[in-house]
A and B are shown apart, each in its own frame.
Chain A
Amino acid sequence: MNQFTEAAVARNPAAVQLLGLCPLLAVSNTVANALGLAIASTVVLTGSAVLISAIRKLIPEDVRLPCFVLVIATFTTLVNLAMEAYAFDLYQRIALFVQIIVTNCMILARIEQVASKEGLGRTLLDALGTSAGFAAAILILGAAREILTLGFPLAALPPGAFLVAGLLLAGVNAVAARQRRAQDPTVQDGPGRGRAGKTGP
């Protein structure tokens, strides 16, 4: 499996690592908002990861975290300004959640684990894969909530976000468990066997 699909599917930030859940739950009430946040996250993650990979040899080990956060904050502010200037309606709806991309641990994690160690090619693939995985998760959640709202108004409200996200995660876990059983019939489902919520390789 190459870097892109591994980052997008096997290590999906939202469904497998459960990272970036605050914007995921808050902005997934419509597909349009979800798409806006997915694009903003993609620009910030890809831009920061590529820049940090390019200058990784110049960043001293001791101050690498402040440097990473500085770069992420700069990209976040740029995206925020661009959105305020060129997509004002969207900005008015999701500006708060664009601003807090800077604290998204999904982004800091990819930069600490990949961009600060690997070359440009692998970093770019990993960042795009992670972004695609996040975008898929938030768009599916956004679409599900927007459709469910038609018959079930709660789906658009904050509690609805938790309910729908929980059901989707349960679905992802069920599919993953079935695949593991299909590959190896002797595997028993037990705690910590690569289910949602378990981070790491």
Chain B
Amino acid sequence: MRPLLRNVAALAALTLLAGTVLAWFAQVTEDEVASNRLEAELRILRELVGVEVGAGVGAPWRVRQRRADGALRDADLVLCERGLVVLRGAGDGYGGGFRLAVALNLDGAIKGVRVLEHAETPGFGDILNTPSEWLDSFTRGDVHAVTGATITSEAVMAAVSRAVNRTRLDEMCP
């Protein structure tokens, strides 16, 4: 066989083998990975609101909601009897999309902000991982963009104010 053909054939065969093995293993671990991610998210929400929240669709405690078109989306948690609601927000940071939760007291004050998922550069994006002095600064109402993570922090600040601004507390908790 000519060398070029031989090289191409060897690389193609090995790539096919690697792709097959990876596709198979990704399928094997898919469910476990998804439930791990959800569990981690529930843990953060539990810590934020102090009550047990559940996965799935339906009741007000549930963190997923089915939209009219059948797709799942993050649900706001309406916990009026506890004196708070948890708003869900999303946005695009420096490294990709992120999702967050904002706990709001019924008087409109921010009780806490948690980032549930993000793809920011490790190190620079650490301000989004709890415990985070920067995320805590939202509760004091005095938030500034972080040097070195300007795009990340401004995107999170915008997402939080979008979530808060779209919310009518008097309608959620009459």
Chain A residues with CB under 8 Å of chain B are 58-60, 62-63, 66-67, 70-71, 73-74, 77-78, 81-82, 84-86, 88, 92, 96
Contacts and interface: CB of A to CB of B under 8 A. Distances in A.
Contacts of A66: 11
B14 A67 contact: yes
Interface in B1-49: 3, 6-7, 10-11, 14-15, 18, 21-22, 25-26, 28-29, 32-33, 36, 39-40
A96 B25 contact: no
A59 to B, nearest CB: 6
Chain B interface residue count: which class? 20 to 34
Interface of B: 3, 6-7, 10-11, 14-15, 18, 21-22, 25-26, 28-29, 32-33, 36, 39-40, 122
A71 B22 CA distance: 11
A31 to B, nearest CB: 21
Contacts of A67: 10-11, 14
12 contacts: A59-B10, A60-B3, A62-B3, A67-B14, A70-B18, A74-B18, A78-B22, A81-B26, A81-B29, A85-B32, A86-B32, A92-B40
Given A67-B10, A81-B29, A82-B29, A74 B21 contact: yes
B163 to A, nearest CB: 25
Nearest to B30: A85
Given A70-B11, A81-B26, A85-B33, 16 more contacts: A60-B6, A60-B10, A63-B7, A63-B10, A66-B11, A77-B22, A78-B21, A78-B25, A81-B25, A81-B29, A81-B33, A84-B29, A84-B33, A85-B28, A88-B39, A96-B122
Given A78-B21, A96-B122, A88 B36 contact: yes
